Amino acid sequence: MTLSPAEEEEFASFPDPLRALVSAELAAGNAIAALGHGFPAAPCGAYLMLAQPVDDARRVSTGEIAFYDRNGSSYAGEFTDHQRHFFVVEPPRPPEPAPDMDAIRKQLESDDWQHGRTLHRTEEEVDPESLVGRFQASMEIDYEKWREGIGYDLELLSQATPKELERIEAMVQDRREADWRDIAALAALGTPTAQASLRRALASGDSRIQMAVLEYAPDAATESQRIAVLVQALERATLYGGLSQALDHIASFHPPPIVDTLLRGLMERDGATACQFAGMVYFLFGKAASPFDWDHRPFFLRFNTDDLEEREVVVRELLATIGKDPSRYIKPEPLAP
């Protein structure tokens, strides 16, 4: 595939280490299969898929590039930088052969395997066919469940006896709110101890978990708490560490402290985050039809620079458009000694 002029311009916005990787692959005989937007790229980013797997020598993480061998149905390996907005991905691998069921049965019947399994049993071992066992199985998150955002099987809760609910809550509580799925389960359980755990999670300082509480248990937070955790996420969180979810909330809940934090972040956060903030600001002030309106994408992308002088120019443009005083959001240069 040969890139069109517009795609060449898009590819030029990729981080230098990713462009260098693609150049090395093309020189070695690889080719470009597609350049597009959407998963796994962020809204302000893009992905490029190569036609063949990357050379083994380059399928490693470095100081500038993180490599993950996802081996999913959409693509195999992925390469990205610390911001995770742009990606270079490999084509998906061919389907694996069907498992050898005879070999699996032989392993299950072996004394060594049964002995090892016994060593890992506890007094609380659950019958996998029971309702509690099925819920426990749903708590095992593989790559596909992670990628598709599949939670625990909460429908089982409506079928559970009080004793079964008690055991299920104990399993969830043991994880101490490690993931959004735990928050969703605690909210569905709704017991006094589950409610206490949700309040503890809201005070945890982890934006990713706090956003899950706001989504699945909004009544656990007062309005002032809700504002505080959203402001904290805007000031500190990364896109995959709670910021994306915070922006989703802000689209419909944006009291003045949140709007002020967004406007300050246009200069105070990194360029990629400022790009996201610009899209939200345009939406909140009625200048765009959606939080990251693609009709305005070229304008938003101008915020994605670490050159603060360049960014100040476009921030001033935005503030003028929405009628805000730039002196409130752009700090003056310190005086020379």
CA distance 152 to 25: 41
Q: What is the pLDDT of residue 109?
A: 54
Q: Which residues contact 142 (CB under 8 A, 6 or more apart)?
A: none
What would the pLDDT profile of 35-73 be if each residue is shown by its tens digit?
Answer: 988 778 876 788 999 999 999 899 988 889 999 887 777
* Cut 0.85: pTM above it: no
Q: What is the pLDDT of residue 6?
A: 87
Q: Is the pLDDT of residue 235 over 70?
A: yes
Share above pLDDT 90 across residues of the chain, in percent, rounded to a whole number: 61
Concatenated DSSP letters of 135-192: HHHHT---HHHHHHT----GGGGGG--HHHHHHHHHHHHHT-S-SHHHHHHHHHH--H
Q: Which residues contact 174 (CB under 8 A, 6 or more apart)?
A: none
Local structure of 28: helix, strand or coil: coil
Q: Average pLDDT, stretch 240-253?
A: 91
Where exactly are the structural domains of the chain? Answer: 5-89, 126-220
